[in-house]
């Protein structure tokens, strides 16, 4: 029972480069989310999805894109990386049927843009 798996765990990007953060869940959850965590700021929602083919913006979507072609996968794309995107990124999934909106978080991707 892997839960939510994120890859890579660490990455250093140069300004202007692009990359995709991978997220996969094996719990058949319909809802998936991407958050970024910055010191003293808590977690901010970037994008979310309520099912395959359906995505929507969260609080801080600028500079990011997502897709949801399958229930299991929810990759986050960074185009033209900027230093402001240096952060720790967390993917999460949840199921309404779990009761109480039970969220499962991945272990995170620490991204540094230099």
Instruction: By CB under 8 A, name the binding residues for another protein.
Output: 4, 31, 33, 35, 40-45, 48, 50, 56, 58, 90, 92, 94, 96, 100-103, 105-108
Residue closer to another protein by CB (options 42, 62) is 42
The alpha carbon dihedral of 68, 10, 57, 66 has a sign of negative
Closest distance of CB 16 from another protein, Å: 28
Shortest Cβ distance from residue 57 to another protein (Å)?
Answer: 11
* Alpha-carbon dihedral 68, 23, 80, 55, rounded to 10 degrees: 30
Indicate the length of the chain as a whole number. 114
């Amino acid at each position: 029972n892997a839960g939510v798996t994120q890859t890579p765990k660490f990455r250093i990007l140069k300004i202007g480069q692009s990359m995709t953060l991978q997220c996969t869940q094996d719990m058949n959850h319909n809802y998936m989310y991407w958050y970024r965590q910055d010191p003293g700021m808590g977690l901010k929602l970037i994008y979310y999805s309520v099912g395959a083919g359906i995505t929507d913006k969260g609080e801080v979507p600028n500079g990011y894109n997502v897709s949801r072609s399958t229930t299991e996968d929810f990759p986050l794309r960074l185009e033209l990386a900027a230093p402001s995107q240096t952060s720790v990124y967390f993917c999460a999934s949840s199921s309404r049927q779990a009761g109480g909106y039970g969220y499962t978080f991945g272990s995170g991707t620490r991204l540094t843009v230099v």
